[in-house]
Amino acid sequence: MTGVLIRNARLLDPVRHTDELGDVLVVGETIAALGPPATLSAADGVEIIDGGAGRLWVMPGLVDLHVHLREPGEEYKEDIESGSRAAAAGGFTTIVAMANTKPVADNAEVIRYVLERGRSVGLCRVLPVGAVTMGQAGETLAPFGELKAAGAVALSDDGHWLASSRLCRSALEYAQDFCLGLHMHAEDPGLSAGGLMHEGAVSTGLGLRGIPGAAEDVAVARDLILAEATGGRLHICHVSTARSVELIRAAKARGVRVTAEATPHHFTLTDEAVVGFDPNTKMRPPLRGVADRQAVIAGLADGTIDAIATDHAPHSTIEKDAPYEEAANGIIGLQTALPLALALWRAGGLSLLNMVERLTTGPLGVLGMTCPGLARGAPADLAILDPECTFDLTAAALMSKSKNSPFVGWQLKGAVETTLLGGRATYRRHESK
Amino acid sequence: MTRLAGQHLLGMRGLDRDTIYRILDTATGFRDISRRTIKKVPTLRGRVVLTIFYEPSTRTRMSFELAAKRLSADTAAIQVAGSAAQKGETLLDTAQNLDAMQLDAVVIRHGASGAPHFLAERIKARVINAGDGQHEHPTQALLDLYTMREHFGRLEGLEVSIVGDLLHSRVARSNLIGLATVGAKVRVFAPRTLLPPGLAETYGCTVCTTLDEALEGARVLMTLRLQKERMTSGLLPSLREYAREYGINAERLAKIRPDGVLMHPGPVNRGVELSPEVMDGPRSVILAQVENGVAVRMAVLYLILGGGEEAAS
Amino acid sequence: MARVVLEGPAIAQALDRMAATLCARATDAPFAVVGIRRGGEIIASRLAARLARQSGTTPPVGSIDITLYRDDGFGPHDWPVVGTSHVDFDPASYTIVLVDDVLYTGRTVRAAIDALLDYGRPKAIRLAVLVDRGLRELPFAADAVGLALATEPGEHVTVELAEAGGAGATGPAAAAGTAADRVIVEPAPRGRRL
């Protein structure tokens, strides 16, 4: 039986809300023991990781609610293996695969394929999401029961907003029979049509057609009202505007079953980043204004936004190396989520345990699952990181097949040392150089 | 002062006041050449200037070609049939092909804002922006500034009003940048649906709430082209309504200063932005703009390409 | 160490001699005088006045700006000043006296001739320079020279003229007219030559 002993590290447990030095002994697939720093010992053959009196941190493996793995159908951009590899390098042990593949995950076959392929690659737990409508065309409901039985953990037409209010209401009602949440890409296409970036002074100066914040606010408002009316479970993807955060906060206060996520790029960048026309600043929803960014951060801090989710969207140079208007929307994010979250904590945006929660218990909670945390008997899904390690992000270091990230060239602080999935190392920093 | 030698001209952003004035001074020298019998000088002999236009335009392209030819450069033109769903070569592929042809300068007009910047990062030739999306049209702004300065002798403190479809106008944006740089006093007016956000904070201009407010006291009335597509995208009800509410006719033109002039980047939608009488009337300097356009483009090509061996490296 | 090689009255005499030389070889075609901007303009007008006295007819006067005809473009740190040429007569009827202050490599003259020919085809062109400092790079020779000097490539020759506000442009020296004219030779400052 293999094992890993992490000795004298700083242990961050978002379930018990503890932050203290200690040892963790992993035997086989589970956490066998926890103890005060430098007290546990291990049998021969057990790998010892020296936590350096808190130089290394240990937290539950990160969970990403929003990843586009592009398989089946667009494997030239990414596939389940390269995506899992990038996830493991980012400290993730669970990723949720979005349904807009080719073919769309609106049937059991695609769901099962993704699940099995993820298992056989074995670098990350891949949880598939099923579509809300057939072909994600927004016209007829997909078979939620079949999808759930095949292994779907949620439903989403991400990429599109369910414009038909009638159908949205039906979906919210029907999904309840199967305990599935609707993960909504809230964007009114009538208001966002033709838009390339956030509408504001920056878009005026750059001559790029703008997407007003109202495009998201209008959609969020409608979705919240229907969720309240139906009692269904609603999750708002990639929240980007101040008004959305406000609406979600008020709805939660009223008891609406709504959760929300925000991306690292939305809490790190604003529309100013678009100056210079780098197509790696182009995504939906777009990078917004300063007040919106501040509101997203405040939402993460007070729990209005439950999870940090990357919306990892790989695109090859064919789609991205083009004039801004012609470039595809989306950026990758699995390997930059953690350092950017740490930067937010360092800047005072979030407390440290809150930050860990948004990356672990928060996303699992959205799916209706519990995070076991750092406890005896829990699966040994762990992220071991060196928060002080500084590095320049290069395209070569990105494990994803696609390199569409605006953070290439940035100096980041906070590197994953080792990621354990069920006790097995899926990533080691020194091996990947 | 930023030197232009060996640089791209992608926009008015980045040109400081002295640079702008120097370009205008250089253009004066070139205007005289265009007025003598032999309208050519050998300055850019042997250089190759390619114009590649993804959007249709007769006058701007002609203006650049004439400018290049009058400098004795060789020219070539590519007119790419424009359409949003255009098949065929991507701009990236085009860029690489252009590079292989060993050109000196590429003059590009494209429907996507930022396309010239994209090209400039990928080819060796110098890139001159002849209009990118709704972003910039620097040589238009330069010839507009030239026309204004020639007429009034100065630009600082000059009362300029820009009126029309500001939302979609790259000409307006370039002019707003240039006018702010030279210290003119700028007011703007547009129908509400054609008014982009953040103009005052981005360009330091005053946004007027009525057309009359913008007309009064203006020494330069710059009107913008309205494209008919605005009707179909739900921004305006009809051309007739635009002409009635916002078109410049003799009555409205009389509200600007007695010594004021009327400008338009062309082509004019007769009877929409301008009534025929004012378009052909004594206050209009629209044709002067066209003449100045060739001189200004000659100046730009000369300043970018006319340097010696050291400037090229 | 700058040295003054010609000044005041000596310059006036040089110009007289140049005019005489030109008149001695005059043909049927009347003279027109064209100064190469900017050093040759003032000398051109002074020479034109002398030709008027000596020949009895006033020659038309023009100027040529050679910036756009140079064979070497401009350097990366320069901002070229494109001036205007003024040739308001038809060169075909005249013997044109092309005038410059200093003849050096000959490249300026080459450019000026090209520029002049774009205005028309003169009957003849005569070259008149105040100072010929040698060190030719192109095969040109002046028809009338005020002063021939032997110089080194490292030296710089400056012609200061009263009308241009040269040394002593104010005060009694200026009132005396050409008393302020000087031709100076000094070690070259950094910069480009033509």
- Same domain (yes/no): B120, B169: no
Question: Which whole number is the average pLDDT over A158-181?
Answer: 96
Residue at A261: amino acid letter: E
Residue at A207: amino acid letter: G
Query: Which residues in chain B have their CB less than 8 angstroms from residue C82's CB?
Result: 25-26, 28-30, 299, 302
The residue that leads in pLDDT, B82 or A117, is A117
Among B8-22, B291-305, C117-131, C178-192, the minimum mean pLDDT is found in C178-192
Structure tokens at A56: 């290394």
Confidence of residue C191 (pLDDT cuts 50, 70, 90): low
DSSP one-letter string for A202-260: HHHHHT--EE-THHHHHHHHHHHHHHHHHT--EEE-S---HHHHHHHHHHHHTT--EEE
Structure tokens at B212: 């009359």
* Residue pair B160/B222 in contact by the 8 Å Cβ criterion: yes
Structure tokens at A1: 């039986």
Q: Which of residues 195-214 of A touch B (CB under 8 A)?
A: 196, 199-210
pLDDT per residue over A301-319, tens digit each? 999 999 999 999 999 999 9
pLDDT per residue over A255-278, tens digit each? 999 999 999 999 999 999 999 999
CA neighbours closer than 13 Å in the CB half-sphere of residue B151: 24
- Same domain (yes/no): B202, B78: no
User: CA–CA distance from C82 to each of B41, B202, C65, C89 (Å)?
Assistant: 12, 34, 8, 21
Neighbours of B258 (CB within 10 A): 7
- Same domain (yes/no): B271, B305: no
Residue A35 has a pLDDT of: 95
Task: Determine, yes or no, domain membership for B12.
Answer: no
Confidence of residue B88 (pLDDT cuts 50, 70, 90): low
Residue B58 has a pLDDT of: 85
B291 phi, psi to nearest 5 deg: -65, -45
Per-residue b or e along B107-126, where b marks 16 or more CB atoms closer than 10 Å to that residue's CB: bbbbbbbbbbbbbbebbebb
Q: In what order do the strands lie in the sheet with C124-132?
A: C61-64, C31-36, C95-103, C124-132, C144-148
Which of C68, C76, C81 is the closest to B307 by Cβ?
Answer: C76
What residue ranges define each of the domains in chain A, with the CATH number in brackets?
A: 3-58+375-399+410-431 (2.30.40.10), 61-366 (3.20.20.140)
Please indicate whether, in this complex, the C-beta atoms of A207 and B199 are within 8 angstroms of each other: no
pLDDT per residue over A357-394, tens digit each? 999 999 999 999 999 999 999 999 999 999 999 999 99
Please list the residues that pair with C156 across neighbouring strands: C186
Structure tokens at B282: 């004594």
Query: Which residues in chain A have their CB less than 8 angstroms from residue B202's CB?
Result: 201, 204-205
Task: Determine, yes or no, domain membership for B4.
Answer: no
Give residue B209's domain range: 138-289
Question: Which whole number is the average pLDDT over B69-91?
Answer: 76
- Same domain (yes/no): B173, B284: yes
- Same domain (yes/no): B305, B175: no
- Same domain (yes/no): B39, B50: yes
Please indicate whether, in this complex, the C-beta atoms of A325 and B199 are within 8 angstroms of each other: no
Prediction ipTM score:
0.85
Please indicate whether, in this complex, the C-beta atoms of A277 and B114 are within 8 angstroms of each other: yes
Do C and A share at least 3 CB pairs under 8 Å? no
Q: Which of B15, B23, B36, B43 to mutate to test the interface with C (most CBs of C within 10 A)?
A: B43
Which of A196, A199, A323 is the closest to B118 by Cβ?
Answer: A323
- Same domain (yes/no): B105, B248: no
Domain ranges of chain C: 13-71+84-151
DSSP one-letter string for B88-151: S--HHHHHHHHHHTT-SEEEEEESSTTHHHHHHTT-SSEEEEEEETTTB-HHHHHHHHHHHHHH
Work out the minimum CA distance from C16 to partner chain B, whole angstroms. Answer: 34
The domain tally of chain B equals 2
- Same domain (yes/no): B151, B248: yes
* Residues near A367 by beta carbon (within 8 Å), at least 6 away in sequence: A65, A96, A127, A153, A154, A181
pLDDT per residue over C119-143, tens digit each? 999 999 999 999 999 999 999 999 9
Is the CB of B8 inside 8 Å of chain A's CB atoms? no
Residue B281 is classified by DSSP as S
Q: What CATH number should be reported for the domain holding residue B181?
A: 3.40.50.1370
Please indicate whether, in this complex, the C-beta atoms of B198 and A277 are within 8 angstroms of each other: no
Please indicate whether, in this complex, the C-beta atoms of C65 and B307 are within 8 angstroms of each other: no
User: CA–CA distance from B14 to each of B8, B19, B20 (Å)?
Assistant: 11, 10, 10
Q: Which of residues 64-83 of A touch B (CB under 8 A)?
A: none
Identify the architecture of domain C13-71+84-151 in CATH. Answer: 3-Layer(aba) Sandwich (3.40)
Question: Which whole number is the average pLDDT over B190-208?
Answer: 95
* Residue pair A28/A224 in contact by the 8 Å Cβ criterion: no
Is the CB of C68 inside 8 Å of chain B's CB atoms? yes
Residue B276 burial class via C-beta count within 10 angstroms: exposed 0-12, middle 13-18, buried 19 and up? exposed
Residue B82 has a pLDDT of: 54
**Which stretches of A314-410 are assigned E, i.e. beta strand?**
382-392
CA B36 from chain center: how many Å? 25
Q: What is the pTM of this model?
A: 0.87
Task: Determine, yes or no, domain membership for B205.
Answer: yes
Query: Which residues in chain B have their CB less than 8 angstroms from residue C69's CB?
Result: 41-43
Mean pLDDT, all residues of chain C: 87
Please indicate whether, in this complex, the C-beta atoms of A204 and B199 are within 8 angstroms of each other: yes
Work out the minimum CA distance from B40 to partner chain C, whole angstroms. Answer: 8
